[in-house]
Every structure is written in structure tokens, then in C-alpha cells.
Homo-oligomer: A and B are copies of this chain.
């Protein structure tokens, strides 16, 4: 079992309850990465469903849980031949931290697209991409050690005080411990980029309010390409769209989150 599979594992207590242990390794200086929380919730949902794949997940992030034991509570809202809809909540001591609605279905791994768009921007080849500097040792920013992100340099000028001026973030993604991508890795991937508003000039913790992502195909082995962008930064809110393309050049996941712009220096 890989570290990621272990960190996201769920233990069935009864037909509506799973025990989980939230891993400090996915901490972002205190709060845990939202994609990591979703991957954990989705393992419980899929275990409870007659279907194999989390096709659509929408999540509201109510509170930031600390690492440690927690539970996923699942409730089947509708089940049919094609899809099952489940309400799933990450709770501890009776308090909900993440609230989700999930549609599961069974995707065909051999399906060929009837129609597909192309990436809207071209990534430079990996050898022209760069890693971000590591966090300060005392920062508890552990998440960065779990993933290997190779950034399009054009999107990380903010690191050296020269943001591009546009909300964007693009990188090649792998887990630090090698593992073929699956739907749970995709749940992590869609929330693993630095906030797109960093490159439009904002800084600080940018809490996700809502994140919806759709699994569009089962990913091929190999690195993923994450293309993140935003359409509007206004009134303290921004959107972040992430498209995930697999090593075979297929669009495998789409996400959009609505988040609050951080305060500079926060």
C-alpha cells in the first residue's frame, strides 16, 4: 500500500459510517489540503456504492479539520442502474467539516471520446519546468513533500515578486512516492496547485468555499498535466478552474472552485 493509499484509507464501521485517520502529512501549515480530504471521503462513498467511480463530486468546506481520527458518514440519496447519488460528510465529535454530494457511476476504461476539446494553453516540456523552493522548516507545510509539481515558469513569477498579472497556475503532477493515478489521486490533483490568484498578485491563505470536480475518464499511467486558470477576481472572491490531462493526452478531470482571496501577509 502506498503512503497516499494508506493516508486516505477508510475502515467500514457500519453501512453508514467509516473511520478515517487524517494525516498531518497533507497539512498546509495547519489546515489540511482539501483534495486530500475529498479523496478520503470518496473512498468511503465508492465503498458504499454499487458503482465503481466518483463521477461528480461537489463539496462545501465548512471548517478546517485538524489531523487525527475522524469519520465519514454516508447516506444514499438515490440509486439506479446508471448512477448512485450519495451525501457524504467528514465529521468529528458530531461536527461536520466537509459536506459533499457525490454521483457514482461505472465508467468504461476503453471509451473513445465522441468529441474532445484541446488544452487551451501549451505546457513547456518538463525540462523547461521548475520546482518551487521548499517551505521554511518550521512552517508545517507538509503537503509539498507528498507531490512532485513541475511548474510552467510563466505561472510562478509571483515567487520572485513578479506575478504574471493573470490568475493562472500550471504544472506537471506526480505523487512523490510513485503511484499510477486513479480517481483518488485526481481528487488530490485538482486541489494541489498554488491558488491561481497568486499569479494575479494576491497572497495569503485562500480558503476554498466550494469545489466541484468531475471525473471524465480513467487516467493512463504516468504524470498528469494540471492547467489552472481563473475568470474573475472580484469583491474578495475568485474562481479557479483546473483541467487535468493524462499522459495519453486525454482530459480526465475538470474542477472549479470558488474561494476567498487571502489577505496579503495573512
Chain A residues near B (Cβ < 8 Å)? 55-56, 58, 60, 62-63, 77-78, 82-83, 85, 87, 96, 99, 101, 103, 107-108, 111-117, 165-167, 200-202, 209-210, 212, 214, 216-217, 230-235, 237, 239, 243, 251, 254, 256, 258, 260-261
Contacts and interface: CB of A to CB of B under 8 A. Distances in A.
B209 A103 contact: yes
Contact of A114 (B114, B200, B258): B200
B112 A234 contact: yes
Contacts of A111: 234-235
A63 B78 contact: yes
B55 A232 contact: no
Contact of A77 (B60, B82, B232): B60
Interface centre among A101, A200, A256 (most CB of B within 10 A): A101
Contacts of A256: 212, 214, 254, 256
B167 A115 contact: yes
B254 A231 contact: yes
